Amino acid sequence: ITSLGRQDMILGFTWLCKHDPKVNWTKGEVTMSSGGAPEEECRREFGGVHEPEFPDKAVEVEDWIYATTIHLLPSVAEIQASQTMSQQLAQAFAANAMLREFQDMVLPYLHAFEDVFSKATFDSLLKCKRWDHAIELLPDSTPSSYKVYPLALREQKE
């Protein structure tokens, strides 16, 4: 439920297309077309038609729409905000969560690797190097000679 401002109700485009009311703005009349719902069905759908009561009899019928829009009492906006089950579970978990030690959270055979999982090593990156790995060659060694296998024709074209 939300506040509609000064309006009693707002008719949506889908409702207007479904019921196709004919509005005579000169006479101030609304009639339902033959294909639309009868007047009683519309009243039942919206819980009755609101007939404004004016203590001021000087307001003419033609000015009722304008007068009801201007002089409506402010309505209380009721917002039924709630939480989903997942939000409630997350809140309960956060309220009951305790800060645990590394040894309590990790299996015993991983205790030797505490430095890998620590926040200090997590927040820092390794130093930048030109290569991450190197192939160490023996000094004064001669490379071995092996048979070279050519690529297939399809692989050569790629």
State residue 118's pLDDT score: 78
User: Do residues 28 and 65 share a domain?
Assistant: yes
**In a domain? residue 133:** no
**In a domain? residue 52:** yes
Residues 126-138 have pLDDT tens digits of 777 777 677 788 8
User: Do residues 64 and 89 share a domain?
Assistant: no
Summarize the confidence of residues 99-117 as an average pLDDT: 83
User: Do residues 62 and 94 share a domain?
Assistant: no
State residue 75's pLDDT score: 59
- The domain total for the chain is 2
**In a domain? residue 132:** no
Q: 33 with 21: CB under 8 angstroms?
A: yes
Q: 38 with 44: CB under 8 angstroms?
A: no
pLDDT averaged over every residue in the chain: 71
- Residues 6 or more apart whose CB falls under 8 angstroms from that of 46 comprise 9
Summarize the confidence of residues 69-78 as an average pLDDT: 56
User: Do residues 94 and 65 share a domain?
Assistant: no
**High-pLDDT (> 90) share of the chain, %:** 0
Q: 33 with 22: CB under 8 angstroms?
A: yes
User: Do residues 62 and 39 share a domain?
Assistant: yes
Whole domain around residue 34: which residue ranges?
A: 13-70
**In a domain? residue 49:** yes
Better-predicted residue by pLDDT, 75 or 150: 150
pLDDT at 148 over 70: yes
